[in-house]
Structure 1
């Protein structure tokens, strides 16, 4: 793979990370305007099915998935469904900054699960990184933990767990399936899951509600679609370890934009704890990059 291709992938990956991060505050504005997280995810999935289906057909002329890759693609779809539903829904109950801090423990969950899933060794360095992130979370949540809505905390942690599962499924699914086709099936699987969540919570709003909240909904969906397409393209051009590093910009974008559009203000304690979590995430990516470079 050429250096130019890798540079292009990193640039697209950074754009995807910033757009992913920026779309979360607008999801909260949409929820406050009556367009709940499950509702937005439900309608958003239709747009992505059409877009990725067209891209997939243009690439290979078929959207079929060979039998060996069907289970990983199914797992990817289910995991992605819970990531979208839980993370976007969590910000209706807790501040975006806290939701972001909790969600971004998923790289550490991957770190701990890798020995069980992929047979990798759980080293002292990995344990130290996990401990640093845990301390950061304790500091960030602190005495306010009991004052936060448990539903938001649970949803953010469920999203983090689903994101870790998404990572393992994606690594397997994209070995034999074009990213656009994998993305098509992922979003198609997401539609009934999102519909069930809407019906279970009684929050399946009509398209009129989306129109009433057109500005935040439009910004959220537009940013997400741009991020998703850039992410798929970047994944084809850039090694996962390098791409993971630029995605550390995503939580920073979420928190900084939340302070501007939502007037949320993190306390010094929350900033300190969140910084430790971010340092732990970056350290884990750097460690894995170095390990892969040595073994290559």
Structure 2
């Protein structure tokens, strides 16, 4: 029985499924990282994702104008570097902590773009949550892992700005067929040397699985969800992403958070949800709400997004 004319699954269900897919891909990538390294895993995941997008959509090369070239290259490179840094962080620190730190990027961008000083409270609240997650008073902080996650956060911020710029010109899978291959080439620079000599059919099959889980499946689910719900509602719902990261970290990687860390992740989720208030952006005429990557363009313009 359908809840709405749009389909048998409610839009919030599609968004939740997308978040689950994203974080399941990240959790399952840990095993690949042990075999081919973080950069090697990023290269395989992005390359196989690029192949899938190129197989189902023709890149809109004829629509590319000269002013589009640098933003497209920038977005692809930012996506590749962000993916490498994210996976390098996951290799060293818990998945939930990595996602929470990475969230600081989009939250900061959202606060700055809101032109409201009060909005700066949300990145500060999220930072407090990150401190509770890392528990530095125990003296067991992996500073290198935190640094990788922080670089991914900065990359996510750049990704958001470039996504909105390109999203006003290109929409749908065609946009991904332009940017994901660039991201794959970027990751190949360090990914191929790291992975060479370790590849086999089992690793390739595993890489294909995580590539389908991220970015292919979330893109389809988010696109369908955005067609049936407002961007504010979507953005608020997707702020639960760090909580899903903690859940999958617990179920798949057996990373058991402490009570203090649960409080920390709750603060990050609250900050993410609060940052969506008043953040709607009017799309350009005839533009279809869609994603340029793992998270939707409408959400990326205001707040949280995700690495490919």
Could you say whether these structures have the same fold, taking a TM-score greater than 0.5 normalized by the shorter chain as the test? yes
How many angstroms apart in 2 are the aligned matches of 1:208 and 1:196? Answer: 16
Looking at structure 1, the residues matched to 47 and 133 of structure 2 have their Cα atoms a distance apart, in angstroms, of 37
Q: 1:161 to 1:131 in 2, by over 3 A?
A: same
Give deviations 1:58-81, integer Å, cap 9, x for gaps. Answer: x96x56522333333222212211
**Which of 171, 175, 190 pairs up with 1:182?**
175
Map 1:61-72 to 2 at 5 A: 64-72=63-71
Tell me the equivalent position of 1:203: 194
Q: What's the counterpart of residue 117 of structure 1? A: none
Unaligned runs of 5+ in 2: 284-308
SS at match of 2:194: coil
Change over 3 Å in CA distance of 1:94–1:276 after alignment to 2:
same
The aligned counterpart of 2:45 is: 44
Ranked by relative contact order (alpha carbons within 8 Å, sequence separation 6 or more), the top structure is: 1
Kindly indicate whether the alpha-carbon contact (under 8 Å) linking 2:243 and 2:265 is maintained by their aligned counterparts in 1: no
- CA 1:75–1:233: 2 relative to 1, 3 Å: farther
Cross-structure match for 2:213: 223
Say which SS state the counterpart of residue 264 (structure 1) adopts.
coil
Secondary structure of 2:168 counterpart? coil
Bigger shift: residues 261-270 or 14-23: 14-23
CA offset at residue 11 of structure 1?
Answer: 4.5
1:281 to partner: Cα distance: 0.7
Query: Partners in 1 of 2:217 and 2:282 — Cα distance?
Result: 32
Who is 1:22 aligned against?
24
CA contact (8 A) 1:56 1:63 kept: no
Instruction: Tell me how far apart the structure 2 counterparts of residues 291 and 136 of structure 1 sit (CA, whole Å).
Output: 31
**Which is further off, 81-90 or 62-71?**
62-71
Superposed displacement of residue 235, structure 1: 5.3
Give deviations 1:215-271, integer Å, cap 9, x for gaps. Answer: 5x4542231121234345555665543332222232222211111121111111111
Q: 1:10 to 1:289 in 2, by over 3 A?
A: farther
Q: Is the contact made by 2:45 and 2:210 (CA closer than 8 Å) also made in structure 1? A: no
Structure with the bigger percentage of helix: 1
How has the CA–CA distance of structure 1 residues 74 and 8 changed in structure 2, closer, same or farther, with 3 Å as cutoff? Answer: farther
- Distance of aligned partners of 1:107 and 1:183 in 2 relative to their CA distance in 1, 3 Å threshold: same
Task: Label 1:15 to 1:164 Cα distance change in 2 as closer, same or farther (>3 A).
Answer: same
1:37-87 deviation digits (Å, cap 9, x = unpaired): 221221222322233224432x96x56522333333222212211221111
- 1:196-275 correspondence runs (5 A): 196-198=189-191, 202-206=193-197, 208-209=199-200, 211-212=202-203, 214-215=205-206, 217-224=207-214, 225-232=216-223, 234=225, 239-275=230-266
2: CA distance, partners of 1:210 / 1:137: 38
Cα deviation for residue 166 of structure 1 reads 1.0
How far is the alpha carbon of 1:130 from its aligned partner? Answer: 2.5
| Counterpart contact for 2:50–2:184, Cα < 8 Å | no
In 1, the alpha carbon distance for the partners of 2:217 and 2:108 equals 27
Instruction: Measure, in 2, the Cα distance between the counterparts of 1:155 and 1:186.
Output: 22
**Contact 1:23-1:254 within 8 A present in 2 as well:** no
CA RMSD of aligned residues (A): 3.1
Structure 1: tracts of 5 or more residues without a match: 115-119
